[in-house]
C-alpha cells in the first residue's frame, strides 16, 4: 500500500504511540484471522453470488485446461516474447463476457484474464482507460491481446494481476457468522477505496460508474484493496 501516513497525532505523543502499537497488533491478528476464514470455499457461497458462476463458458476459450498463446513486446525496442496461459476456472461472468483465472506456463504466475467480445468497428474504451492507470489501489493491466473463435468473433483479452478475494465475499463471510465486519477492516478498505477514487477522479479524470463490493478486490495476506472492472468507466 502507499506510504501516506494515517497518523495525525503529535510527534512523540505517548497516546499516539500506544494507539499505533494497538492498531498494528490488531492488523496482525486480523491477518491471521482472515487466513483462517476459509472464504475461498465456494461450496458455502449462496446462489446470489454473481462472482462465482459455472466454470465452463462455451465458445470463448475459458474452459478449464484451455491453452491461450500470444506474443507480447515488439514495441519501443522491446523484444518479442511468446507467452501461453492455461485457463484454470471462471471467477466472474456477465453481459460483458467472462473473467477467468489462468496460469502462465512459462513463469507459473497466476493472472486474471478478462475476455470480452470486441466490435471491430470501435476501439475498446476499457482498454484505453486501463492503459492510463498506474496506482497501488487499482488492479494492474499486464498486457492485452486479441483472439478469434471458429465463428470469426473477435475477443479482447485483458491480462490483469490476480487478487483472490473481494470485499463482497469477506462481507458475506461475516454475515454467515452473524457478525459485523471488524471496524479495522472497514477503515482499511474505506481508506484504500478513497485513495483509488481520488486518483482516477483528480489525477486521470475518469469516473468508474460501477463501484460495488464485487469490484473491490482484496489480498487476504496483505489486506491491500484494488479497484477493478472499468467496463462502465468514462473520461470526465
b/e string for 207-223 if b means 16 or more Cβ within 10 A? Answer: ebeeeeebbbbbbbeeb
210 flagged as catalytic: yes
Instruction: Characterise 62 by phi-psi region: left (phi > 0), alpha (psi -120 to 50), beta (else).
Output: alpha
Asked if 93 and 145 touch (Cβ cutoff 8 Å), the reply is no
Determine whether the annotation assigns residue 115 to a binding site.
yes
Residues 6+ apart with CB under 8 A from 223: 27, 30, 31, 34, 185, 188, 189
* Distance from C-alpha of 26 to C-alpha of 39, rounded to nearest angstrom: 20
**Given the residues 41, 58, 134, 210, the one annotated as active site:** 210
Active site residue ranges? 210
The binding site for ATP consists of 115
Amino acid at each position: 500500500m502507499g506510504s501516506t501516513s494515517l497518523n495525525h497525532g503529535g510527534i512523540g505523543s505517548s497516546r499516539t504511540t500506544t494507539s499505533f502499537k494497538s492498531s498494528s497488533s490488531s492488523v496482525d491478528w486480523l491477518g491471521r484471522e482472515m487466513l483462517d476464514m476459509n472464504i475461498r470455499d465456494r461450496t458455502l457461497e449462496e446462489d446470489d453470488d454473481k462472482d462465482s458462476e459455472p466454470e465452463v463458458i462455451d465458445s470463448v476459450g475459458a474452459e478449464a485446461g484451455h491453452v491461450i498463446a500470444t506474443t507480447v513486446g515488439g514495441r519501443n525496442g522491446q523484444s518479442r516474447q511468446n507467452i501461453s496461459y492455461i485457463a484454470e476456472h471462471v471467477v466472474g461472468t456477465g453481459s460483458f463476457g467472462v473473467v477467468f483465472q489462468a496460469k502462465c506456463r512459462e513463469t507459473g504466475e497466476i493472472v486474471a484474464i478478462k475476455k470480452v467480445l470486441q466490435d471491430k468497428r470501435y476501439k475498446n474504451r476499457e482498454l484505453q482507460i486501463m492503459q492510463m492507470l498506474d496506482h497501488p489501489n487499482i488492479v494492474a493491466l499486464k498486457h492485452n491481446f486479441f483472439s478469434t473463435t471458429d465463428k470469426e468473433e473477435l475477443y479482447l483479452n485483458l491480462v490483469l494481476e490476480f487478487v483472490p478475494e473481494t470485499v463482497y465475499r469477506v462481507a458475506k463471510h461475516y454475515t454467515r457468522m452473524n457478525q459485523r465486519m471488524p471496524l479495522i477492516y472497514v477503515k482499511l478498505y474505506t481508506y484504500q477505496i478513497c485513495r483509488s477514487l481520488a486518483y482516477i477522479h483528480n489525477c486521470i479524470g475518469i469516473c468508474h460508474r460501477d463501484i460495488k463490493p464485487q469490484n473491490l478486490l482484496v489480498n487476504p495476506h496483505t489486506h491491500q484493496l484494488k479497484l477493478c472492472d472499468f467496463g462502465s468507466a468514462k473520461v470526465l
